[in-house]
Structure 1
Amino acid sequence: MDLLKNIQETFDSLRKINMKLNPKKCSFGFEEGMFLGHVITTRGIRANPKKIQAIDEMAAPRMRKEVQSLNGKLAALSRFLSKAAERSLPFFKVLKDNVGRNFDWTPDADQAFQEMKALIRTLPTLTTLVPEFSGETLTIYLAAGTDAVSTVLVVERGGTQMPVYFVSKALQHCEVNYKPVEKLIFALVHTARWLRRYFQAHPMLLLSKPEVSGRLAKWAIELGEHEIHYAPVPLSKAKSWQILWLNSYAPSKKEEHTYALRFEFPASNNEAEYEALLSGLRMAEKTGIKYLKVSVDSQLMANQMNGTFEARDPAMQNYLALVEEMANKFERFSITQVPRSLNKKTDALSKLASSVFSHFAKDVWVEVLSQKSTDVVQEAATVEEVKTWMSPIVTYLKSGTLPVDGAMARKIRMKAPMYVLRDGVLFKKSFTAPLLRCVGPSEAGTIVKEVHEGTCGMHLGFRTVVGKIMQLGYFWPSMYRDTKEIIKACAS
């Protein structure tokens, strides 16, 4: 009865706008059959056998037009093909290299053609998302190659992960130069645009969560409207799946990140060693490392940390205290001294950084320190209310916990990509300005009064005051309303 009611409502709407339907493309009330070029069964969606047969019986292309025809046939089956764009790259290359009358079907293209034929003979059956399972979580797996990115949506039914949709894209122009993590995020963004209805109707589970900045921050804001959850990569899945979120960064693979420092202040050799160690510890803390082993070539620093040597110089005592404070933040920390002969790469890098680093590759991270770590002035913390507008956002960014209320949870999930935590302090991102430190109501009132009527205060209008506050680097959502009320109450 519900089906007949829905069909009647559809026809009534079509009659109102005087629209006619093509009977050959309409089907009502069937459980199995051909629909929109695919075979619909109780088990799921299968590829059209005629389309598979057309490619299977196709001979190797002998002209440019036949290659174009092959690509069109493969595009019709792309939702069933894993890494379709990556497997089709040899065909794209043939089209690109054969612009004139001469046509060259390369051995690489022929091998890819034969592999593609073997693959389409065993295309999987895609699982359908039925109303009985409305709102079930879909898992996303991503893969990034040199010239293409791929995605697959899967759903778990009866303890088995079953594919729902395959998406792939060939990278073009500057997209090829993206870093591996940027390619993976770009794959997710492309999938969210291509399968927007899936993302709107279902929560998504993404294995692992990247640190976003720059271009990634813009994509994170675009993805913020969708309900995407993050989880660590299970080891069992890391072994059984070939397409993983972190397939370019397997846990067993050894990674090396080059990091150079340049000082804008005079420092002794021992002070330089301690500054390098502190920078490394800060970087390790921000990346979430729990177990850290440090190798240094400074015998003095290693023995002072291990307690063998005593730090008598006041400067060394201050550095030692800072390092010990940072080391206590890790669950397991050890430091060993290695011979300088085994540390040649680091020494060579330090010599380059001390002279010029404009020629460094983009994989070499360079940081310029303007002052010593022992001279950094700690800002006085302002005591805020226990719970402010920042609390749910901070909780979500730290642990991924959302409010129980569904509407509020969606609101926090959409807003969260616009914020970032730095050493426990919440900042709001901006495309045209530096990070803005978020403040609570009590500190916000103090800031408004200081800008409006404090030292050198000019008693300006509330819009101008808000602009000056943002130039100073502060933000809270109701800053226009709060500033207007405080200025109205000003006696001057």
Structure 2
Amino acid sequence: MREYGMKLNPEKCTFGVRGGKFLGYMVSEKGIEANPEKIQAIIGLRSPRTLNEMQKLTALGKAKEFKWTEECEQALNELKKYLATPPLLANPKLGKVLFLYLAVSESAVSSVLVREQRKCQSPVYYMSRMLQGAEKRYTQIEKLALALVVTARKLRPYFQSHKVIVLTNHPLKHVMTKPDASGRLVKWAVELGEYDIEYQGRTSIKAQALADFIVEFAGEQIQEEKKGWLLHVDGSSNANNGGASILLQAPDGVEIEVAARLSFPTTNNEAEYEAMVLGLQLAIEAGVREVNVCTDSQLVAMQVEGSYETREQTMVQYLKKVKELMARFDKCVIQQIPRTENERADVLSKFGTLVAGVKERKIALIIKDHPVIEEKEELQMIENSGSWKVEFMNYLKEGVLPDDPIKARRLKFKATRFTIIGDDLYKRTVDGPLLKCLDEERTQYVLREIHEGSCGNYSGGRSLA
């Protein structure tokens, strides 16, 4: 300081102390706590003696009678004790892991950032924010994501210098990375991608202040709404061939109609099985996880359920195929319904004779040359381990990151724009559609097919995709 001519004010400098007053707070190696001088007014608050003093204390002006009992005195003393002992705010050490609790209510979002030391949790910072305008109409899971984003913005230095583990029992990570997430969730996911954030299930809360915080804003349990798809199937046959119909209905009302022509001799029961197998395969390709299959064939429904014995070798093979496909769903239920409730599927199965019922709609037509039980399994090629997709797939599926912290942070930031459907990697676009990610060899093949075909006019990259 002498070399550069610097001078210090002795009244404002303190050296070699373990604690002291700083900016109105008491700072020590334990953390930051309130200044006792600031809360002396609360401690010295006396009990009201008149009606006017009680009105000042309670901020209620309509009281007509003054009555101060022992219960009132006890409640006031407990309130003074609570206000005079605010929680100690801990000082996080550089590089240590921090934990974040989130809570939402109808009108506000809150969070508390804590550090854990010697199996004891100490709060680092509290944050709360009132919801405004359209934010009040967000779903509960969107409010939870908003609480995380607002906390990251306000406590940016903590998020940049520490790994933050979000403790929640709600599917926050899944919702923000699923392909059909709303625009705001995708935007928030990209914004949070620069931080080292990890999601874990919430365990027991070790700090009483945190327990009070969580209880106060407990609210209703947040659950992601799960609705299954509905699959109607039907089959029919005549002397020479048969037909199968598939009607796949999404929870949001989207429908997929498929009529299949079976160009081989088949019985009516075999046609019913063909329709069910084709319908389950279509549902798997569409990424359906929960499906309710409706058929008007009592034999097929009871055989799949196990109530009827299957003796014919052909039926045994069909049943085995159906069971294999059902095992690929999280939930798959076979339900027998009356024929009157399966009329649309019945019309599709008789596509050739009842044209009037289907001519106003776009229907996919499939021609099958042989039964599904005679089809051979297709072998899937093993992708090159050096593919650029491997890192993204490993991180999105297993949470595996590169050892290099810089590469790991870059990967987490980029991965927010990618999602996995089935075994394929897709990239989100600004407009909403998902772009399928390809390896280099597959990319060259697709480019040749596109440029040599009807799209050879070299349209823009976005429209070409």
Q: Among residues 36, 41, 65, which one is paired with 2:23 in the alignment?
A: 36
2: distance between equivalents of 1:370 and 1:117? 73
Q: Partner letter of residue 92 of structure 2?
A: L
2: distance between equivalents of 1:373 and 1:140? 53
**What is the match of residue 347 of structure 2?**
none
1:272-311 matches, within 5 Å, as 285=289, 300=298, 303-309=302-308
Percent pairwise identity: 32
Q: Partner letter of residue 46 of structure 1?
A: E
**Deviation larger for 142-151 or 47-56:** 47-56
2: distance between equivalents of 1:185 and 1:175? 12
1: distance between equivalents of 2:293 and 2:81? 51
Secondary structure (helix, strand or coil) at the match of 1:49 reads coil
Q: Partner letter of residue 403 of structure 1?
A: P
Over residues 137-161 of structure 1, what are the superposed CA-to-partner deviations in whole Å (9 max), with x where a residue is unaligned?
A: 1111100111111111111111222
**What is the match of residue 141 of structure 1?**
101
On the 8 A contact 2:111/2:126 being kept in 1, the answer is yes
**What is the match of residue 120 of structure 1?**
83
Secondary structure (helix, strand or coil) at the match of 1:210 reads helix
1: distance between equivalents of 2:79 and 2:286? 49
Residues 242 and 120 from structure 1, CA distance in 2 versus in 1: closer, same or farther, beyond 3 angstroms?
closer
2: distance between equivalents of 1:406 and 1:230? 18
On the 8 A contact 2:326/2:332 being kept in 1, the answer is no
Shift of 1:407: 1.6
Greater helix proportion: 1
Q: Among residues 204, 207, 232, which one is paired with 2:201 in the alignment?
A: 232
**What is the match of residue 180 of structure 1?**
140
**What is the match of residue 220 of structure 1?**
189
Q: Partner letter of residue 85 of structure 2?
A: T
Shift of 1:217: 1.2
Q: TM-score, normalised to structure 2's length?
A: 0.61
1:54-203 matches, within 5 Å, as 54=41, 119-130=82-93, 134-203=94-163
Shift of 1:197: 0.4
1: distance between equivalents of 2:455 and 2:286? 38
Stretches of structure 1 that go unaligned for 5 or more consecutive residues are 1-7, 60-69, 71-90, 95-102, 106-110, 287-291, 341-346, 351-368, 474-492
2: distance between equivalents of 1:221 and 1:180? 20
Higher relative contact order (CA 8 A, sep 6+): 2
Shift of 1:22: 8.7
**What is the match of residue 445 of structure 2?**
446
Residues 296 and 126 from structure 1, CA distance in 2 versus in 1: closer, same or farther, beyond 3 angstroms?
farther
Greater strand proportion: 2
Q: Partner letter of residue 178 of structure 1?
A: Y
Secondary structure (helix, strand or coil) at the match of 2:416 reads helix
Shift of 1:27: 5.5
**What is the match of residue 434 of structure 1?**
433
On the 8 A contact 1:44/1:127 being kept in 2, the answer is yes
1:455 aligns with 2:453: yes
1:471 aligns with 2:458: no
1: distance between equivalents of 2:129 and 2:30? 28
Residues 263 and 405 from structure 1, CA distance in 2 versus in 1: closer, same or farther, beyond 3 angstroms?
closer
Stretches of structure 2 that go unaligned for 5 or more consecutive residues are 47-56, 64-71, 229-250, 260-271, 343-360, 369-376
Residues 30 and 210 from structure 1, CA distance in 2 versus in 1: closer, same or farther, beyond 3 angstroms?
farther
Residues 381 and 283 from structure 1, CA distance in 2 versus in 1: closer, same or farther, beyond 3 angstroms?
closer
2: distance between equivalents of 1:338 and 1:398? 37
Shift of 1:37: 2.5
Secondary structure (helix, strand or coil) at the match of 1:199 reads helix
Structure with larger Rg: 2
1: distance between equivalents of 2:450 and 2:337? 56
Shift of 1:400: 0.9
Q: Partner letter of residue 120 of structure 2?
A: T
1: distance between equivalents of 2:335 and 2:206? 38
On the 8 A contact 1:264/1:370 being kept in 2, the answer is no
Q: Partner letter of residue 233 of structure 1?
A: R
Shift of 1:297: 11
